[in-house]
Each structure stands twice: as C-alpha cells, then as structure tokens.
C-alpha cells in the first residue's frame, strides 16, 4: 500500500486561520488567546496538584475531576498553539501527516470528554441515589477502570476514520479555511470520494454523542427524582449544588459539539464554524475549571490549605537558613 505522501500532490497545508483580521485586531486576538491558553493550563494544573496533594479530595468525584482537567489541558493544546503561531507569521503551514495526526488526536480527546461527562454523571447518580453503597460501588478499582476505559475508547474509536483519511488524494488547492485540521475543511480539499469517510464519521459522532448524552440524561433523571423525594430542604439544596456545575458543563459542551458535528457537511459555513470552534477549543476549556472546581467550596478550602502549608514550609526553611 502506498503512503499518503506518495499518492498526494500536496505535501503540506496552509492554515488560513483568522487571516481576514486587521493588524490591530489580530494583536488583540493573539493577546486574548494567549492569555486564555495560559490560564487554562495554569488553572487545570492547579486543580490536578490540589487534588493530588490534599487527601480530603481523594474521592471518586475529585478523581474524575482531576482526570478531566488533565484531558482538558491536552484538548486545548492540540489546537491553540498552532493558532497562536498564525498570528505571528504570514503563513502557517502543517504537513499532511501532521494535519491527520492533529485531526486524530483532537477528535480522540473530544470523544474522551464525552465519555468522562457520562462517567461523572454516573458517579453523581451512585453518590445521590445509593449513598450507603457509594464507597463500595465506586471503589478505586472501578474508578480506574472507568477512567482508563474512557481514554481507550476515545483513542480506538477514531482509528477507522483516521485510516480512511490516510487514503485521501490531495491534488490542490492546499489552503484550509480554519485554524486547525477540522473534518469538513480537510474533506473539502480531497480530490477523491469522501462519502465513506463522511458516513463513518457521522455514524460514529451520532453514536458517541447520543449514547454519552443519554447516559448523562438518564442518570440525571434518577438523580432529580431522588432529590425531589428528600425530606430535608438543606439536603436537596446540597445535592443540587453538587450537580449544577456538571449540568452546566454538559449543556455548553453538547450544544457546541452537536452544532458542529451532528449535521451534513454540505451545511458547513467555515467562517461561522471557526467562531464556534473558538468557543469549544478555547473558551470552554477555560470556563470548565471555574465552573467545575474553583466555585466548589471543598476545592477552594483544599487550595487554601495547600497554599498555606507551602507558605509555612517556605517560612520554616527561611528561618533555618
């Protein structure tokens, strides 16, 4: 079997990004995206370190939240650095194989996020509906298997589509009207029939998005039913507060993903899609730590304890010197 480079006239793609922006607008966008990316990495890394350092957060809920934060760091790193480079140079290029790898990793992480959102909904379902059996049903082995299963299913699921993409023939033009190698712009440049790949992708997208969304919604139907039967108003408020953040993230994520990928490619408008892509590639990973963790009282108290203990150790070290 011939490799993609041997069968394609195009060796690299040009990412157009936001080339229509004026110079001062480009500077503002670069500053905003750079700041957003730095904050995303910093906040998610802080959450991971806090959960790891504070033993009070060694529970299934925070185990999944830390893994979710780790995934979010990589999810935004796949696309944003390349986008930032497009503001600094006149022409941003990416090899054909680099484009396929970026495409593969991006969608694998997106699928993994769907899985994690479903798993976290299931965790809240067990915690609220079966509180006495929670520690038994969601023990360390079960949590590890669910987390590993989410990663493995995400990275294996997209192999058929990626393999079919390597068989495309790109004869030109080679300009991708996007800031990363998304599905529709890449298919748009192929000189070969892409109907099979489109069918594979949309079937997979429907199955993954629909199944993970249904799992989440079914879990919350049981959760809401259980909460409504609680006799204590305080108990109901506390139970709802633990679910509100997750529901917010679910709403934001599935709204943007459904708009982008659960529709025929003939309806794609690349300019509008770039705006939506910015939302789930840049804005959502930035908001998730705030929505999920930094508004959480337990996380804030744990972060305060970690910072205080670190400051105390630094003072003690300074005194010894």
Report pLDDT digits (tens) over 259-285: 777 665 545 566 677 777 888 888 888
192: left (phi over 0), alpha (psi -120 to 50) or beta: beta
Could you say which DSSP state residue 176 is in? E
Pair 137, 123: CB distance under 8 Å: no
In the chain the domains, ranked by start, together with CATH numbers, are 4-320 (1.20.1070.10)
Dist. CA 177–CA 196, nearest whole Å: 23
Would you tell me how many other CB atoms lie within 10 Å of the CB of residue 71?
Answer: 22
Calculate Rg over the CA atoms of the chain.
Answer: 22
Identify the burial level of 98 via C-beta atoms within 10 angstroms of its C-beta, where 0-12 means exposed, 13-18 middle and 19 or more buried. Answer: middle
CB-based contacts of 166: which residues, under 8 Å, 6+ apart? 3, 4, 100
**β-strands 12-15, 175-176 pairing:** parallel
Q: Any bridge partners for residue 157, and if so which?
A: none
Dist. CA 217–CA 213, nearest whole Å: 6
pLDDT of residue 270: 61
Q: Which of 39, 41, 45, 37 has the alpha carbon at shortest distance from 303?
A: 45
Dist. CA 183–CA 39, nearest whole Å: 28
Q: Which of 261, 264, 300 has the alpha carbon at shortest distance from 113?
A: 261
* pLDDT above 60 (res 174): yes
Average pLDDT over residues 175-186: 85
Pair 4, 96: CB distance under 8 Å: yes
pLDDT of residue 145: 95
Report pLDDT digits (tens) over 100-143: 899 899 989 988 988 898 998 899 899 888 988 998 999 999 99
What pLDDT band is residue 148 in, cutting at 50, 70 and 90? very high
What pLDDT band is residue 146 in, cutting at 50, 70 and 90? very high
The CA-atom distances, in angstroms, between 42 and each of 30, 110, 251, 302 are 18, 21, 24, 17
Dist. CA 181–CA 17, nearest whole Å: 10
Average pLDDT over residues 7-15: 77
What pLDDT band is residue 251 in, cutting at 50, 70 and 90? confident
Report pLDDT digits (tens) over 277-317: 888 888 888 887 777 665 567 777 777 777 776 655 555 55
Mark out the alpha helices in the chain (DSSP H runs): 4-7, 23-53, 60-77, 80-88, 96-129, 134-137, 140-157, 159-165, 183-189, 195-228, 233-261, 270-278, 284-289, 297-320
pLDDT of residue 26: 73
Dist. CA 78–CA 82, nearest whole Å: 8
Instruction: Give the predicted TM-score (pTM) of the model.
Output: 0.83
Dist. CA 228–CA 226, nearest whole Å: 5
């Amino acid at each position: 079997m011939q490799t993609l480079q041997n069968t394609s006239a195009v060796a690299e793609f040009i990412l157009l990004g936001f080339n229509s922006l004026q110079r001062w607008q480009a500077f503002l966008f670069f500053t905003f995206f750079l700041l957003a990316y730095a904050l995303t990495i910093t906040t998610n890394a802080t959450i991971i370190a806090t959960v790891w350092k504070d033993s009070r957060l060694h529970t299934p809920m925070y185990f999944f939240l830390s893994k979710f934060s780790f995934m979010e760091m990589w999810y935004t790193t796949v696309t944003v650095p390349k986008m930032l480079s497009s503001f600094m140079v006149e022409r941003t290029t990416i090899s054909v194989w680099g484009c396929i790898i970026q495409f593969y990793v991006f969608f694998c992480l997106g699928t993994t996020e769907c899985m994690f959102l479903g798993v976290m909904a299931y965790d809240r379902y067990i915690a609220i509906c079966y509180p006495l059996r929670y520690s038994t049903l969601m023990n360390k082995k079960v949590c590890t298997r669910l987390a590993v299963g989410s990663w493995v299913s995400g990275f294996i699921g997209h192999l058929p589509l990626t393999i079919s993409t390597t068989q495309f023939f790109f004869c030109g033009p080679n300009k991708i009207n996007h800031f990363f190698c998304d599905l529709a712009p890449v298919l748009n440049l192929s000189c070969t029939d892409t109907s099979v790949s489109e069918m594979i992708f949309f079937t997979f997208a429907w199955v993954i998005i629909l199944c993970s969304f249904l799992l989440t919604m079914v879990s919350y139907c049981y959760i809401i039913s259980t909460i409504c039967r609680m006799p204590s108003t305080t108990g109901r408020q506390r139970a709802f507060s633990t679910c509100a953040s997750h529901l917010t993230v679910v709403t934001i994520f599935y709204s943007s993903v459904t708009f982008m990928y659960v529709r025929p490619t003939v309806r794609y408008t690349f300019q509008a899609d770039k705006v939506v892509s910015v939302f789930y590639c840049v804005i959502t990973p930035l908001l998730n730590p705030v929505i999920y963790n930094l508004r959480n009282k337990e996380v804030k108290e744990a972060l305060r304890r970690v910072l205080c203990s670190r400051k105390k150790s630094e003072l003690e070290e300074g005194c010894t010197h």
